[in-house]
Structure formats: C-alpha cells, structure tokens
Amino acid sequence: MNSTTTTAAPPATAAIQPPLPATLPATPRFALVAGETSGDLLGAGLVDALRARFPQASFAGVGGDAMRRAGVDTWHDASELAVMGLSEVLAHLPRLLRLRAGLQKRVLGWQPDVFIGIDAPDFNLGLERRLKQHGLRTVHYVSPSIWAWRRGRAEKLGRSADRVLCLFPMEPPIYAEYGVDARFVGHPMADEMPLEPDRRAARQRLGLQKQGPVLAVLPGSRQGEISRLGQVFLDAAALVANATPGLQVVVPAANAGCRRMLDAIAAASPLRADALRIIDGQARDAMVAADVVLLASGTATLEGLLAKRPMVVGYRVSRPTAAIVRALGLLKVDTYSLPNVLAGKPVIPELIQEDCTAERLSAAVLGFLQDPAAAAALQPRFTEIHRSLRRDASARAADVIETLIDRR
C-alpha cells in the first residue's frame, strides 16, 4: 500500500481530517458551549472576532445574554452549567449528563465546522472528546488551572481538543510536556481594561463621595458562594468600618437572585446601614472606585489586578469538597489566587477555608487601608502583568480556530 491509497474507512472513533484545498467556506458553522458569566463574555468576544472573518457564519450552542447579543442561537442558557465544587456537581450530575447527551446529539446533527468549549471543563471536555471521536474539530478555550492542581489533566485535554487556547503564559509549557497543542492568546479582560483606571470617574458613576475610603466587597457571583461567604465578608466589613471613619462599603450583586441573598444578609449584619450600598452589577466600577477590595477567589481577582487595586482574597468551599481535595492531595500549590500566581510570589493576602474569618479578613483589609505605601507598591507590578496579558485575545483565538476549518 502506498501513501496515496486508502483501502478501508477509518474507524468510528478516529478523527476525520480531509485534505485542505485553497478556499475557506463562506458560511462556516461554529458550535459553542459556555458556562456562567465569564465564559459568556469570552464567547461573545470570540464570536465577534470570527464574524469579522466570516460575516455569513452561523453560531449556536450554550451561552448567556452576551452571546445572544453577539448573534448566537442559544439552545440552552449558560446558567444551566453554573455548578461548582465536587459535592455540588455530584448533586446535579444526572441533569448535567442528560444535558450533555442531548447537546452531543444536537451538535452532531448540526455538523459545525468547529466546536468550541469555553471553560466549564467538567462539562465540556467529555463533550469535546466524543465530538472529536465523531470527526469534528474541537477547541477548548480557557485552560483549567493545571498549574494549581491535577497537572495530569493536560493529557486529558489533548484527547478532547485539537487546540487548547490559554489565557495565561505559564500554561502552554505544561501542555507541551504532554504533547498537546496549546496556544497563549492573552486575556480579553486585559484588552478591555485601561492600563490606568480612572478612579474618580468610577466613583462618580456609582454616586460615591470623591474623597474618603471605599471598600468594595465581592463575595462571589453564584448564590452558593454568597451562602458561604456573604455573612463573613459583611462581618469583616463591619469590623473595618468600626476602625475606619467615613468608610463607604459597596457590594455589587451579579444578578437578582444574588441581590436578594445579599439584602437578607445585610439586614442581619452589624454593618451600619448608612455605610453600606448594595448595587446591581457594576462590579468593575466598584473595584476601580475602591481603596481596597475584599473578594472571593476566582476570575474577579484578575479584574482586581487589572484595576490596580490592593485586595484581600477569601474563599470557602463546602466541607465535603474540602475533605475530598485534602484526602486525595489534589491541590499542588501553596498560592492560588491569580495575582499571586502571575506575580510569581505572594503579593496579596489569601485566607482560605478555616482561615477565612471576619477577624482575619478585616485585619488584612486594614493593613492596606492603614499603609498606603504597601497599596501603592502593588501598582507597578500589576501594570507589568497587565501589559503581558494584552494580546488582542479574541482575535488571536479566532486566528487559531480559523486554521482548523476545512478548506473546500
């Protein structure tokens, strides 16, 4: 048999990769699955960049309001995937498995040119793997935190995705160890946010006083996070307010459900009502306006870094999740908030699980409020990191995806 002769069809599990003639299809199809708000925003930016290349392209899958505004036909809302923590996932597992099976069938019937899973690795990687086995080209956008725990997942991603699009520069070298094609595209949030935030304008938009200390409190964008962090965060804010005359505390609520929970927690909080404002959305303005930010670990910490704000990170997961992680030794790093990871050393306080108490959180916040030099020292380092992440990420991601489209 010579290299140009084929005597048998490839097995059903083999990825089909036809030859690539010169021209791209005028109307490619892209299927995307994004979970929660951050993935929805990434998906919308990517859709805009792909549409600039393919004006007649079709987009469908799972997304939120931002992706719908970008023109995606959403078969399901992104909120249906917004489950976190090992014990929480187990509780929702039957529903998620039914959803994934239905999506697999629908995507295969629609036959997109490329399938793009955006974050949500517990949901997307299995779906990507099955679609790849049926001959679809697959991309995973946003690497899981393999630098923090379960490094071996890099190999699993290679079995699921033809390309992995990474938001951070430390990720592709890890994938290279496992022979996985991963590309650093930068972070869209770093493209959006200015290198020099305008604190005065942010305070004006929020109706805050021009002068005087401001503490932004962000206990999470999910109701599960707020149930674990809302009370302790507001208790910490009350302690800070007692020690800081004129303190204004701003708490952004991600959605109506979060607002209801925060209102109920605030009603029972020792924090004075005249010192507290709960606002709808506007989390970025709240961070830019603040002198210090108290927030949950996650993507919001990167936003705080890009806002050049000193911050204190707190986090708690459910006790069953914490027990599983500890028993299996899944966590491989001593620091895991993004500002510390990207800086290469601890530059902001992290108070996790048992250490996440009102007393310790408030002491860390007061450390920045009472030492302006320590807060100012973070800004040059945060600006340097900001520049390193500014790569026109959506356009770079679209460039990589374009190379996977079968030319016809």
- Dump pLDDT digits (tens) for 359-399: 999 999 999 999 999 999 999 999 999 999 999 999 999 99
Give the model's confidence band at 237: pLDDT under 50 very low, under 70 low, under 90 confident, else very high: very high
| Cβ count near 242 (within 10 Å) | 14
The band of 145, judged by pLDDT with boundaries at 50, 70 and 90, is confident
Distance CA 322, CA 333 (A): 15
Look at residue 9 in the predicted model and tell me its pLDDT: 39
Mean pLDDT of the chain: 87
Q: What is residue 351's predicted lDDT score, i.e. its pLDDT?
A: 93
| Per-residue pLDDT, 94 | 85
What one-character-per-residue DSSP string does 3-48 give? Answer: TT---SPPPTTSPP-----S---SS-EEEEEE-HHHHHHHHHHHHH
Q: Within the chain, what is the greatest distance between any pair of CA atoms?
A: 84
What's the pLDDT score for residue 99? 92
Tokens of 226: 């707020």
Q: Does residue 187 surpass a pLDDT of 70?
A: yes
In this predicted model, what pLDDT tens digit does every residue of 98-110 receive, in sequence order? 999 999 999 999 9
Statement: residue 8 has pLDDT above 70? no
Cβ neighbours, 10 Å, residue 25: 14
Residues 6+ apart with CB under 8 A from 65: 40
pLDDT at 316: 73
Mean pLDDT calculated for residue range 268-279: 91
Let me know the angle formed at the C-alpha of 10 by 5 and 11, rounded to the nearest 5 degrees: 155
In the structure, what pLDDT confidence band is assigned to residue 4 with cuts at 50, 70 and 90? Answer: very low
Cβ partners under 8 Å of residue 151, min gap 6: 174, 332
Range with top average pLDDT, 142-151, 215-224, 355-364: 355-364
- What is the spatial distance between Cα 13 and Cα 158, in angstroms, rounded to a whole number? 15
Which backbone phi and psi does 61 adopt, to 5 degrees?
145, -135
Query: What pLDDT, on the 0 to 100 scale, is given for residue 336?
Result: 75
Determine which of 13-27, 37-51, 389-403 has the lowest per-residue pLDDT on average.
Answer: 13-27
Percent of the chain with pLDDT over 90: 68
Average pLDDT (43-70) is: 96
Q: Can you give the pLDDT at residue 82?
A: 66
- Would you say 187 and 393 are in contact if contact means Cβ atoms under 8 Å apart? yes
- pLDDT confidence bin for 36, thresholds 50/70/90: confident
pLDDT of residue 3: 39
Residues 296-344 have pLDDT tens digits of 988 899 999 999 999 999 987 656 655 555 555 555 556 778 999 999 9
Q: Residues 119, 179, 343, 326: what is their CA dihedral angle, to the nearest 10 degrees?
A: 70
Question: Which amino acid is residue 53, in one-letter code?
Answer: R
> Which residue would you say has higher pLDDT here, 269 or 91?
269
CA dihedral 171, 173, 178, 184 (to 10 degrees): 50
Do residues 242 and 215 make contact, with C-beta atoms less than 8 angstroms apart?
A: no
8 A C-beta contact, residue 131 and residue 115: yes
- Helix (H) or strand (E) run with residue 309 in it: none
- pLDDT > 70 in the chain, percent: 86
Distances (CA, A) of 383 to 77, 286, 361, 392, 394: 35, 19, 25, 17, 21
What are φ and ψ of residue 8, in 5° steps?
-150, 150
**Left if phi > 0, otherwise alpha if psi is -120 to 50, otherwise beta: which for 75?**
alpha
Of 258, 215, 162, give the one whose Cα is nearest residue 361. 215
Per-residue pLDDT, 149: 72
